[in-house]
Chain A
């Protein structure tokens, strides 16, 4: 397979065409597993910050207990499925049209919203991962590109304080997050309903109406969870969070439960960590 990326873009149609059914079914499936499932867990983890910085920090330690495997898991089960679902989604959007002007029916409006929220969600996720995570773990990339651009703000071993610092200081970022979150939640809840039709889980009109209620309720619950997580991040008491997370970090390092890793901790000058440690 000697194929250059440029040639691949023109050659990909026959491949997409030949495997259209399989690819579309995979697209539908990845929306729920792993993307939707990950999103639910991610929102629940982040909403745990409402219980206090310690709860959130412990939840993050649990995730980071994967150690060096984490980037593999991240890419295999989160980033690649999201990219697959999102980029193929753009191809799918190109195959449809908006005719709500002639047919202003509720199902048709939901069809358009599903595509609009999908695009918003894709842009939001790309920005959000850049803002918090930085996309790649390479030191050079993070120091030279991401951090000067204001990204890569989240540090897993200083989780509540860096999360709080990234989401505080102005309402622009929280407002953008709110839009992105609502788009993601709508896309998942409505997508769950259409997925049930696509796979033939609910077929009859009554069954579809019942499923609509279930998916709608799931959407509302997820929406509350998402906005709680956002509110939680916006109201973290950063100096107090620094104390708590540093105590947790040092306890873990002393107990040999954790290999010291300054890269995963907050920059001293940003959160004033150095000062608090001297006390």
Chain B
């Protein structure tokens, strides 16, 4: 297929089927666009072409398809979508490879675990709420200079570096059978602040997801981050915590950064049990 394209036949095209949605709560619908082929395209450049000429394959003028992207080198996670049935980043999804798998057509869907903002743009707020819940950072700010942190061994660095690759893209959540989609809508008499609050409370009761569990291991192993380890473990054993993992291991299979998520889950499971027992018998 791609070979034929390179031979420079006149006006080689392929179709892009996109699951569109005008806004939250609206009905979704499929739309077909025809895009002229160029070598070395990725899905973002396909979407740029569609945005430049927002016309469907049967000649109807439509609004441009909305999508999210930023770094264009698979480190920010914002262009995550379901491409040909597989969740991945649009920037690193090369058209030549996609057409080898499915000639003449590429299918684009928004990640189904998150509420759609518009077309391929989703609200990953629940993902970030989980990171807040587990305190996925090292607290370094304070009123006085705390000096340098303790050093980290080479071995420890090598073990933790892969965990730091997480770009909060949400692929693991899309594939996880324990992570069901939740979409809340703002009530008529609800202020935006109240809605955000209710959203956070709802998300906190639901499964936090493998990405957040892995971040607990990352920051609990960090020489300074370790100081807040019991706070993070408290979050892991709270409602919606690590106990909801079903061990399907889809997360580790789809992670674009090859993060050993199930290893983190096992280590976090062990730490969480010890923490729960300590709370039960020691405090």
Contact = CB atoms under 8 A, between A and B. Distances in A.
Interface of A: 17-18, 20-22, 24-25, 92, 95-99, 102-103, 105, 107-108, 110-112, 194, 196-205, 208
Q: Is the interface of A mostly helix, strand, loop or mixed?
A: helix
Given A197-B266, A200-B267, A208-B262, A25 B273 contact: yes
Interface stretch (B137-145, B149-157, B245-253): B245-253
B254 interface: yes
Given A97-B177, A205-B260, A111 B248 contact: yes
Contact of A198 (B85, B245, B249, B276): B245
A105 B253 contact: yes
Nearest to A102: B85
Contacts of A99: 175, 177, 250
B249 A95 contact: no
B136 to A, nearest CB: 19
Contacts of A199: 269-270, 273
Contact of B246 (A17, A20, A96, A202): A96
B244 interface: yes
14 contacts: A21-B237, A21-B242, A24-B243, A103-B175, A105-B249, A107-B253, A197-B266, A198-B266, A199-B273, A200-B267, A200-B271, A200-B273, A203-B267, A204-B260
A200 B269 contact: yes
A203 B177 contact: no
Interface residues of B, number: 36
Contacts of A202: 266
Contacts of A208: 262, 266
Nearest to B268: A200
A105 B180 contact: no
Nearest to B175: A103
Contact of B250 (A92, A108, A205): A108
A197 B247 contact: yes
A205 B265 CA distance: 12
Choose among B205, B260, B262 the residue with the greatest number of A CB atoms under 10 Å from its CB: B262
Contacts of A112: 177
